[in-house]
Amino acid sequence: MSKLRLPRILAACGAFLLLSACKAEVLAPSGDVAAQQRDLLVISTLLMLIIIIPVMLLTCWFAWHFRSANRKAAYEPEWSHSTKLELVIWAIPLLIIVSLGAITWVGTHLLDPYRPLDRIAKGQPVSPDVESLQVQVVALDWKWLFIYPQYGVASVNELAAPVDRPIQFTLTSSSVMNAFYIPAMAGMIYAMPGMQTTLHGVFNEEGTYQGLASHYSGAGFSGMRFKAHASDTAGFDAWVEAARAGDKTLDRPSYLELERPSENVAPATFASVDPELFPRIVNMCVENGKICMAEMMALDAQGGTGLAGTVNMSSLIYDKYDRRGTREPVLGWAPFQVVGFCSTEELQQMLSVKPAWADARPVISGPLRGHGLSQPASLFGQRDDRSITYALPFSGSAPQL
């Protein structure tokens, strides 16, 4: 038997040796925010173990004590209630739930990713004259873009930051939802197209840390990783100067090339960045001729643009189809783009001319059966895969809208 057990013991020891090489960044973070999250996780686990461990031990003890071979165990088939036992069973879990709720509520608000940091480390508040490092993050297919608006540089799949300086990340995505995560620095935050999220964090120790995408986003997801370099102020300034010494420029045309799906992209830097690039990425109007979402919302607030407003965003089809390997959407109309809107005078002039389709043969519609409505008037109209026109009352002259 000893010879049979030896290989199992050796295999178990080998597994422990392999596990010893793992770096538990979640439980040994290098940033104050991640450290507070670690404390919240550990305290919650210990509180739950107060009830879990006794229950597991008592389960084993009951099974052993009341085994069929133990004749000394009391046999009470009519037993049904014990006030003391009920008090213990309900009071202890209730206290644990109350404690967990209080700790979670306080921790959730203190560790809100949108909440600016009020301390660098325990007992070290943020100085009023310290300016946070602004980093604009764009989740691309399948790489990370970091823009430093305060320094006018950018990088791909490489993040640099000074230690003991608050960092404010502003995040968005180019095509699909993704998740930004540096376990050693702070918690995870989602990046979504057409939206902007915020994350605050800080590094307290120099080093190189792993950053990754923690939300599956397609074929190149496994290679969507980057290195976060935390150094002193002099080291960070040297990194910025090295980036400025490069010859690459990140403007709108170069971004559209960078945005195309690619896997396992090597780190790179850009010496200069278009200051309007990130707002245009968020508003989905990097390409020339596109109406930004902010402009579209302003038009909607003034009454909208009718059919044009409902389909203008179809021009964004390249984000989720063309540049991800397919040409046509599964559902919906064929993509087209509205590049202009008529003024009131132009619309009136257009409607004053008798259209070519005014003499078209009317198409009689079938009865409406939904609410017992009467037979509708003669309608005309046409709909195909590329265009659609409203069915309007036929009058032999220009339709009245």
Q: DSSP labels for 216-244?
A: --STTGGG-EEEEEEE-HHHHHHHHHHHH
Taking the domains of the chain in order of start, what are their residue ranges? 22-62+82-111, 121-282, 294-393
Buried residues in 164-191 as b, exposed as e (16+ CB within 10 A): bbbbbbbbbbbbbebbbbbbbbbbebbb
Helix axes 32-65, 83-110, angle to 10 degrees: 160
Beta carbons of 229 and 135 less than 8 angstroms apart: no
Give dist(CA 27, CA 232) in Å, integer: 24
Tokens describing residue 153: 């540089």
pLDDT, residue 18, reads 59
pLDDT, residue 30, reads 84
Tokens describing residue 111: 């560790």
The Cβ of residue 213 has, within 10 Å, a number of other Cβ atoms equal to: 23
Question: How many residues does the structure list for the chain?
Answer: 401
Query: Cα angle vertex 142, ends 140, 143, to 5°?
Result: 70
Name residue 41's amino acid.
L
Domain spanning 121-282 has what CATH number? Answer: 2.60.40.420
Beta carbons of 245 and 137 less than 8 angstroms apart: no
Beta carbons of 358 and 400 less than 8 angstroms apart: no
Find the radius of gyration of the CA atoms of the chain: 32
pLDDT tens for the chain, 401 residues long, are 455 566 676 666 666 555 554 567 777 788 888 888 888 889 989 998 988 998 899 999 988 888 888 888 888 878 888 888 888 889 988 999 999 889 888 888 888 899 888 888 888 888 888 899 999 999 998 999 999 999 999 999 999 999 999 999 999 999 889 999 999 998 889 999 989 999 999 999 999 999 999 888 888 888 899 999 999 999 999 999 999 998 899 999 999 999 998 989 899 999 999 988 998 898 888 888 777 787 777 777 777 666 655 555 554 444 445 555 554 544 455 555 554 455 556 544 544 544 443 444 444 344 434 444 444 443 333 333 333 333 333 333 333 33
- 162-199 pLDDT tens trace: 999 999 999 999 988 999 999 999 888 999 998 999 99
pLDDT, residue 373, reads 42
pLDDT, residue 89, reads 86
Find the DSSP H helices in 267-358: 277-282, 293-301, 307-311, 317-320, 344-351
Contacts of 386-395 with C-beta under 8 Å, sequence gap 24+, read: 386/333, 386/334, 386/336, 388/333, 391/365, 394/362
Query: Cα angle vertex 140, ends 223, 268, to 5°?
Result: 70
